[in-house]
Amino acid sequence: IRRQRQMCIRDRYGWRWTMKFGKSSGVPSDLAALDGKTLSLDKAMTMVSFVLLFFIVFIPIFMIVYNAFFYEGQFDTEMFKTVVFSADNIAAMTNTIIIGFAVTIFGTIVGLFYAWLLGRSDIPCKNLMRALFMIPYMFPPFFGAMAWDMLLSGRGGYVNTWLMNTFGIETSLFNINSLGGIIFVEVSYYFPFVFMQVVSALERMDPTLEESARIAGASQKTVIRKITIPLVTPAISAGALLILISSLAHFGVPAILGFSKQIYTLPTVIYAYIDRAGGSFDGIRQGAALSILLVFVVAMALILQKVVLSSGSFDIIKGKSMRPTLIKLRGAKYPLLVLAIMTLAVIVVVPLLMIFLEGLVRAYGLPFTPENLTLDNFRNILISKATMDSITNSLFLSVTAGVLCMFLGVMVAYVVIKIKPKGKEILEMLSVLPYSIPGTVLAIGVILSWSGALEVNLYNTIWIILVAYLARYLSFSMKSASASLQQVHPSLEEAARASGASHTESLKDITLPLIRPAMVAGFFLIFLPSMRELTTSILLYGPYSRTLGVQIFALRDSGQIPQASALAAIAIVIIIVCNFIVTQITKDRKGV
């Protein structure tokens, strides 16, 4: 059989040419021109990807480091030392580390337990329970902080007031305004990070691993401790790292529950520096110095994760179409079901019910009796120009950030997965780096970059928030598109090219339709967090660019708690509707 065979290909224009497998010869000028256009398009996409990521990711991070150690072009560490070694800031950093690591530990334990319970046991109503345990991920943690502050505040929470009036107690039994209260609320909203990661890994695990241990005489506890948990360590560490990063950077919960008791964390201190300085450069520089500390803590966490993952082998998927054997709970089935229902009631039902009820009451502190309930708060909120502007701003930012990140993420993913240029590792790192650093840090970098230092001033405008959202959420779209592009075989585009389609046409007619479900999912992965975002926006908003989260926080901060609750209830309805749309659009994704 001759190694060089000839075949004749007719393209859509009716032209014919001869091609050889092996060393090419006699390639027509039309095909050569087509390859030249392909090369030009690939270079253009690569160049655009690098340039965009350089401006929206690299420059903000560089400006943080530069302004923390340089002043007017001169190396200066005095400000950094003064800020970092201040007694108040050391206390804030201590609180940040305590809260971050406590939330990570307890959130990991809770997420791991319920992932095992719903992923590997025969507990009833598993599908419903899994959906319900995803609810805390949908809502902003500071909504929960608002609700629990109204219930358990030491100064006048509804539960404390009722207990004191009913039993004649002189002091409050509970006080949510404490480090323990902050940790409790954040655990309630961040444990789904571990839950989602681990439950997926457990369902894909090779069942023979655990079965072999049982045959060898190991008890169920031994199997879980020595087989199951070690094998899902990558999923656990990934979820735990997300919890740690989110907790370290979070602003809303510590601000709502900690300000009244002088409990500060680094994000709240950074906000206080900028707020007290009225947005002056000195306040921003001080915030940048504190941001370095946050980056340092996150870097240590990343190193720790790498050490954990490099200490063993974690091959849990063996390519078999087998599902792990469900563990029979026997007598513990219904007690554990009750425990799961009680957990959902505490972390989901009670806070949401409290927010809706408080939105209906005439004034904070009044009992929830029919004569004290009214729809005036909702009516006044909906006719308020400031509120409607905040909703409009959030919708604009969410939709715009979602669309831009969707296309930019697809382009970056295509360059990394398909084109594979030199330096693609740098491109990939830049795209995911912003989500590996606290949102507060990113906000400081965006302020330093786009407030006139580079001859572009976006400060106090809605555009600077959009730039921050693009940097913050690009990794969501990029990762979603990367997974789908890896499933698109190169032969599909090659077939289109062989039939005479240009590179642009093959992308438009072949590749993009095949990854459309991932693009839609990536859009909503960005849209939903942007609608409820507070940590980044609180440092970037201006007089006319308040977002929905900022407006809710501002109303509560000014003492208008029923109005803030009413607006939070409206935000919850918007989030539920958007999530329903996401579910309907992406439910058939596997079949596409």
Q: What element of type H or E holds 361?
A: none
DSSP state of 507: I
Q: What is the tens place of the pLDDT at every residue in 351-375? A: 999 999 999 999 888 888 899 999 9
- Higher-confidence residue of 387 and 213: namely 387
Residue 264 pLDDT: 93
Euclidean distance between CA atoms 544 and 132, whole angstroms: 37
Q: What is the tens place of the pLDDT at every residue in 483-538?
A: 677 767 777 777 777 777 776 777 777 888 888 777 877 787 788 888 888 888 99
Q: Round to whole Å and give the CA distance between 409 and 470.
A: 10
Lowest mean pLDDT among 110-124, 293-307, 378-392: 293-307
Residue 107 clears pLDDT 90, i.e. is over it: yes
62 vs 445: CA distance, rounded Å: 8
* Model confidence at 275: pLDDT above 50: yes
According to the model, what pLDDT value does residue 509 have?
Answer: 79
Range of lowest pLDDT (204-213, 239-248, 567-576): 204-213
The mean pLDDT value of the chain amounts to 82
**Separation between Cα atoms, residue 176 and residue 179, nearest integer Å:** 8
Structure tokens that stand for 76 in this block? 């200066």
Indicate if the pLDDT at residue 443 is higher than 50.
yes
Helix ranges (H only) for 262-368 are 266-276, 281-309, 333-344, 350-360
Is the model's pLDDT at 277 over the cut of 70?
no
Residue 18 is predicted with a pLDDT of 36
pLDDT tens column, 215-257: 888 887 888 788 888 878 888 888 888 888 889 888 999 999 9
User: Could you tell me which residue, 591 or 544, shows the higher pLDDT?
Assistant: 544
Q: Picking from 179-183, 244-248, 385-389, 421-425, which range would have the lowest pLDDT averaged per residue?
A: 421-425
Q: Say whether pLDDT at 575 is over 80.
A: yes
Q: In one letter, which amino acid is 573?
A: V
Instruction: Say how far apart CA 83 and CA 85 lie, in whole Å.
Output: 6
pLDDT confidence bin for 570, thresholds 50/70/90:
very high
DSSP assignments along 525-586, one per residue: HHHHHHHT--TTHHHH--TT---HHHHHHHHHHTT-HHHHHHHHHHHHHHHHHHHHHHHHHH
Distance separating alpha carbons of residues 172 and 159, to the nearest angstrom: 9
Structural Rg of the chain based on CA atoms: 27
Indicate the pTM of the whole model: 0.82
Closest CA to 69 of 60, 81, 58: 81
For the cut 70, the answer to whether the pLDDT of residue 589 exceeds it is: no
Query: Which of 195-209, 211-225, 263-277 is modeled with the greatest confidence?
Result: 263-277
pLDDT band at 7 (very low <50, low <70, confident <90, very high): very low
Token output for 456: 């572009």
Position 308 scores a pLDDT of 67
How many residues can be counted in the chain?
592
How far apart are the C-alpha atoms of 298 and 287, rounded to whole Å? 17
| Longest CA–CA separation in the chain, Å | 99
pLDDT digits (tens, 9 = 90+) for 290-349: 888 888 877 777 777 677 666 554 444 444 445 666 788 888 889 999 999 999 999 999
Q: What is the pLDDT of residue 83?
A: 87
Query: DSSP code of 357?
Result: H
pLDDT at 592 over 70: no
Instruction: Report percent pLDDT > 70 for the chain.
Output: 87
**pLDDT score for 3:** 38
Q: What is the DSSP string of 240-259?
A: HHHHHHHHHH--HHHHHHHG
Mean pLDDT lowest among 57-66, 205-214, 245-254, 307-316? 307-316
| pLDDT at residue 323, rounded to an integer | 62
CB 142 within 8 A of CB 198: no
